[in-house]
Amino acid sequence: MSALPVPADSPLLSVRALTIAVPGPTGEQAAVVDGISFDVAPGEIVALVGESGCGKSLTGLALLDLVPPPVRIASGEVFFEGRDVRSLPPLEKEKVRGGGIGLVFQEPGSALDPVRTVGSELVGVLRRHRGLSRSEAKAEAVRWLGRVALPDPARQMDAFPHAMSGGMRQRAMLALALAGGPRLLVADEPTTALDVTIQAQILQLLLELRRELSLAILLVTHDLGVVAEAADRALVMYAGEIVESASVGDLFDRPAHPYTRGLLASRPAAGEAGRGRRLTALAGTVPEPGLRPRGCAFEPRCPEAFGRCRAARPTLLPAGGSSESACFLVDAPTEPRR
Amino acid sequence: MSALARPEVDEPLLSVRDLHKAFVRRGGLLTPPVRIAAVNGVAFDLPAAKTLALVGESGSGKSTTARLVLRLLAADRGTVLFGGTDWMALGLHELNARRREMGVVFQDPATSLDPRQSIADIVGEPLVIHRLGSRVERRERVVRLLAAVGLPASALGRKPHEFSGGQRQRIAIARALATEPRLVVLDEPVSSLDVSVRAQVLNLLLDLQRDTPSRPAYLFIGHDLSVVRWIADRTAVMYLGRIVEEAPTDALFTSPRHPYTALLLASQPRRHPGDAAAPLRAPGEPPSPASPPPGCPFHPRCPSARPVCSEEVPKLLPHAAAEGRSVACHAPLGS
């Protein structure tokens, strides 16, 4: 609310050279997120997609300076509406959390206070971030529960989280995350714990809320289907780095990075033709932080790797259309391959 | 009728009829105990060397059905014929002797493998329990099993925590196959795996069914429909403890006959952002299994419900216009 107006063309969120470190088994620091940079524009849905351990969830938490110790942000900046979140005074930082950037998790059960009713939590958020009186906040809370399509919102005000289904808890959590009026929502695997018919409803709801509230969403997910369903743009992470950035159309039509191509190809084909045919699997597994190769982290699994990939680490380069790819094939497509 | 529907099947390996299981949730100070019908009259056949998928959302009873077949849980009633044997009638002693004929792989290899055992002991334990082979023969078989699932012999002396999730699931699969079972129950076997590893394990399951001399049949429990479509010969869709549709997988996916199957298919995320948005979105959530609605369990969410649907539970019957398919609906699609 107190944030300065942002010029229309500047990004809402700007992450620069963010590095997140964990202490390794012998005490040395290993980078789980390794110098990543990206922007999110107002009203845009950006998917941060990758497998477990790639650093996508920690990146989401870092935007709010909420990385849990002993993990820590080693270097880099997070600019939200032009201000470096990490260097804000505590009171201002609290305003950004919930008031500027909202957060929802995979398992809403663990994020909701088990001994408070949903209504009382929501009233608290509205008073804290919007400065409403108790009665105003109550009316607004009921409106929010209706907005996230909880059935019988007035009655749900008095419900405890344990009495709700997973889908209802996720709706309640969305209301809590959005009631403070954030311009950006960090949604970390918001539908992963839900059944498929409920997942479809929640994704639908996210898209509606984005339209109505001009909300930007950073959608942290491992699920390419969720990316196809909901995102405008995708950042593909592998072993702590962004290896590809593209509009969702370009990502699925002409994936630029061999890892993205591998992920898309490993999905069972749709339709009758695919049944019982061996899948195109990526060989090997993701390297652990601290044990990543010196060159490209994907090189040991890459079917297209060549000499340079072992020697140096590629950075994001334009790869045609909206795509950027951290792959030497982008500018050296004619070098002999493995 | 059913003989007409499936002319190629003489005697299924596994034949389940009228299977029931209810759990009682203990009451509290002010709340009475609640009876939950988790599995409510389930019936299906699984031919040898084939794969039947049970799909459905949480609370549909698919995992409970699998546990009843394995006799990890006692059924309230119903029959399970397995290779011609009345499986439910076996005494404990006889059952334990014959458990080697069924293998099982659970979703999470992190919790289903004993962390203190070596890989050699984990994979070889079923052989020891059933007193199969000499010590040397068992060792050889374990090495062959590990090779079959793509793990080196150097894995033998190591512990589960030294392996990645995908490798641990390979170990669980090797263990499940150790006794050359004719049936393997796969309960969400790839759901906890990352995308890039999932394809490796799915390929392995396919290869093992084709190449293992015992040619195991798979009872595959899953919720990822793209995986089910890829692996299963036939698919049964469960909702609130009942099978609502059962059909050859391709037919089920291309022309669902039960409105819930249609909803499930339409709820899948698109494969490609350019694909048309799914037209069907049903409101609401599945009702609690503790208080199912009267009549068809799906009628409160069903776009084509009619008065009879709230009064009478539809039976799973062969579809009048679609050969080889069964549907439990008063107004099935495409009739």
Please report which confidence band the pLDDT of residue A165 belongs to, taking 50, 70 and 90 as the band edges: confident
ipTM for this model: 0.84
Q: What is the pLDDT of residue B71?
A: 96
> Is A331's pLDDT higher than 80?
no
Residue B28 near chain A (CB below 8 Å): no
Contacts of B166 in chain A (CB under 8 A): 285
A177-190 tens-digit pLDDT: 999 999 999 999 99
A286 touches chain B (CB under 8 A): yes
Residue A97 β-bridge partners:
A101
B200 inside 8 A of chain A by CB? yes
**pLDDT for the residue numbered B279:** 63
Put simply, the answer to whether A281 touches B229 (Cβ < 8 Å) is no
pLDDT at A332: 57
Q: Is B254 near chain A, with CB under 8 Å?
A: yes
* B206/A contact by beta carbon, under 8 A: yes
Chain B: closest CA distance from residue A4 (Å): 35
Q: Whole-angstrom Cα distance, residue B29 to residue A202?
A: 35
Confirm or reject contact between B166 and chain A (CB < 8 A). Answer: yes
Q: How would you class A2 by CB atoms within 10 Å of its CB: exposed for 0-12, middle for 13-18, buried for 19 or more?
A: exposed
Residues in chain B with CB shorter than 8 Å from the CB of A263 are 195-196
**Residues of chain A with C-beta less than 8 angstroms from the C-beta of B250:** 272, 275
Helix, coil or strand: residue B209 = helix
The reported pTM is 0.89
**Residues of A with Cβ-Cβ distance to B225 under 8 angstroms:** 196
Contact between B254 and A268 using a beta-carbon 8 Å cutoff = no
pLDDT of residue A8: 53
Pick A275's closest partner by Cβ from B164, B249, B272: B249
Output the pLDDT for position B6: 47
Q: What is the pLDDT of residue A224?
A: 94
A153 touches chain B (CB under 8 A): no
Percent of chain A with pLDDT over 70: 93
Please indicate whether, in this complex, the C-beta atoms of B167 and A285 are within 8 angstroms of each other: yes
The ranges assigned to domains in chain B are: 2-327
pLDDT at A2: 47
CB contact under 8 A, B226 and A270: yes
Mean pLDDT of the A91-107 span: 90
Radius of gyration of chain B (CA): 21
Whether residue B196 and residue A253 make contact (CB cut-off 8 A), yes or no, is no
Question: Is the model's pLDDT at A96 over the cut of 50?
Answer: yes
Query: Scanning every residue of chain B, which has its alpha carbon at the shortest distance from the alpha carbon of A287?
Result: B164
Which of these, B219, B184, B169, B192, lies nearest to B65 by C-alpha position? B219
Residues of chain A positioned with their CB less than 8 A from the CB of B164:
285
Please tell me the predicted confidence (pLDDT) of residue A90: 93
**CB contacts, 8 Å: B281 with chain A:** 200-201, 204
* Cβ of residue B111 closer than 8 Å to a chain A Cβ: no
Q: Is residue B56 a contact partner of residue B238, using CB atoms and an 8 Å limit?
A: yes
Contact A285 B197 (CB under 8 A): yes
- Name the one residue in this structure whose structure tokens are 């022309």: B255
Half-sphere exposure (Cβ direction) of B9: Cα atoms closer than 13 Å: 19
Return the pLDDT at A144.
93
Q: What is the mean pLDDT of chain A?
A: 89
Helix, strand, coil proportions of chain B in percent (round to 5)? 35, 20, 45
- Contact at 8 Å (CB) between B335 and B276? no
Mean pLDDT of the region A238-246: 97
Determine whether the interchain pair A228/B269 forms a contact, defined as Cβ–Cβ distance below 8 Å: yes
> Rounded to 5 degrees, what angle do the CA atoms A205, A210, A214 make?
155
The yes/no answer on whether domain B2-327 falls in CATH 3.20.20.60 is no
DSSP H helices, chain A, are: 56-62, 90-99, 108-111, 118-130, 134-147, 153-156, 166-179, 196-213, 224-230, 248-253, 258-265, 307-311
Consecutive sets of 10 residues in chain B, 335 residues long: mean pLDDT of each?
48 95 85 89 96 93 95 96 95 93 88 90 92 90 91 90 88 93 95 86 92 93 92 96 96 94 91 78 78 92 93 92 90 86
Q: Hey, is the C-beta of B282 within 8 angstroms of any chain A C-beta?
A: yes
What residues contact B299, with CB distance under 8 A and at least 6 apart?
B293, B305, B309, B310
Mutation to test the B interface, candidates A46, A150, A196, most B Cβ within 10 Å: A196
- Residue B149 CB contacts under 8 Å (≥ 6 apart), including other chains: B170, B171, B173, B174, B204, B208
Helix (H), strand (E) at residue B175: helix B165-177
User: Which one of B195, B202, B263, B298 would you mutate to disrupt binding with A, by most A Cβ within 10 Å of its Cβ?
Assistant: B195
Report the residue of A243, A266, A272, A298 to disrupt the B interface, i.e. the one with the largest count of B CBs within 10 Å: A266
From CA B259, how far away is CA A132, in angstroms rounded? 46
